[in-house]
């Protein structure tokens, strides 16, 4: 009798109603699961793209002067071999050009120039590039002697003797012995300039009689 009253208070549901409720609940759970799968898939794609980018992106290489062992370095001590190497690399890049490469030479070389030299170079760069292209001028420079390095209170002077040829098209205009002195100053190390040196000045000097 008591059980009949309890059952009478509960609403009666048919089997079809129960089926549709369970189906709706299962469908809702499926929708939630699909959303979770889509979200995880999207995150996985983002992670894979970031990983591929980090793997394929070129890594910057920094030169640490005076490193004697892992984790130890002396940043205020720039080895002369590094000074010599930087000066040779910069000068040969600066003095070797053709009408087709001159603009790239200015762009690359200017990254290692100190502000004072950079302002002087930029003031006349447009006119010089136009003249080189118009007259089809080319410059070829090669070393003929070991560079000489002098240091004075953190300023390095690197004297480099060599031969320089000037050409107009395929015609040789002149070939002469030359001596360039590149003045270098310590600077902050960057990805473009890992040597921690900048070009303060460049000047042409007379070549000694013995090397002519």
Residues 74/65, Cβ–Cβ less than 8 Å: yes
Among residues 55, 71, 95, the one where a domain terminates is 55
State pTM to two decimals.
0.62
* Domain boundaries, position 17: 2-55
Q: How many domains does the chain have?
A: 2
Q: Are residues 51 and 84 in the same domain?
A: no
Decide if 176 is inside a domain: yes
Decide if 99 is inside a domain: yes
C-alpha 34: how far from its chain's center?
Answer: 44
Count of other CB atoms within 10 angstroms of residue 96: 15
Decide if 164 is inside a domain: yes
CA dist., res. 82 & res. 88, Å (int): 10
Q: Are residues 133 and 98 in the same domain?
A: yes
Angle of helix 115-135 relative to helix 102-110, nearest 10 degrees, comes to 180
**Model pLDDT for residues 38-52, shown as the tens digit of each residue:** 777 777 777 677 666
**List of long-range contacts for 114-119, beta carbons under 8 Å, 24+ apart:** 114/185, 114/187, 114/198, 114/199, 114/200, 116/200, 116/201, 117/199, 117/200, 117/201, 117/202
**Model pLDDT for residues 130-170, shown as the tens digit of each residue:** 999 999 999 999 999 999 999 988 899 999 999 999 999 98
Residue among 111, 70, 96, 97 at smallest CA distance from 195 = 111
pLDDT band at 174; cut points 50, 70, 90: very high
Decide if 195 is inside a domain: yes
C-alpha 96: how far from its chain's center?
Answer: 22
């Amino acid at each position: 009798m008591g059980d009949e009253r309890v059952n009478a208070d509960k609403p009666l549901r048919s089997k079809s109603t129960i089926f549709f409720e369970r189906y709706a609940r299962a469908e809702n759970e499926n929708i939630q699961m699909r959303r979770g799968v889509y979200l995880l898939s999207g995150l996985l794609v983002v992670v894979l793209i970031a990983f591929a980018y980090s793997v394929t992106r070129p890594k910057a290489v920094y030169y640490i002067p005076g490193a004697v062992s892992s984790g130890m370095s002396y940043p205020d001590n720039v080895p002369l071999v590094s000074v010599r190497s930087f000066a040779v690399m910069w000068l040969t890049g600066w003095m070797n050009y053709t009408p087709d490469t001159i603009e790239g030479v200015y762009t690359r070389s200017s990254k290692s120039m100190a502000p004072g030299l950079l302002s002087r170079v930029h003031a006349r760069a447009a006119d010089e590039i136009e003249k080189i292209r118009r007259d089809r001028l080319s410059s070829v420079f090669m070393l003929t002697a070991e560079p000489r390095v002098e240091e004075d209170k953190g300023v390095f002077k690197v004297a480099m003797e060599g031969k320089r040829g000037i050409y107009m098209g395929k015609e040789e205009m002149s070939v002469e012995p030359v001596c360039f002195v590149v003045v270098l100053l310590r600077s902050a190390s960057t990805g473009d300039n890992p040597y921690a040196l900048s070009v303060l000045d460049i000047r042409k000097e007379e070549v000694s009689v013995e090397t002519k």
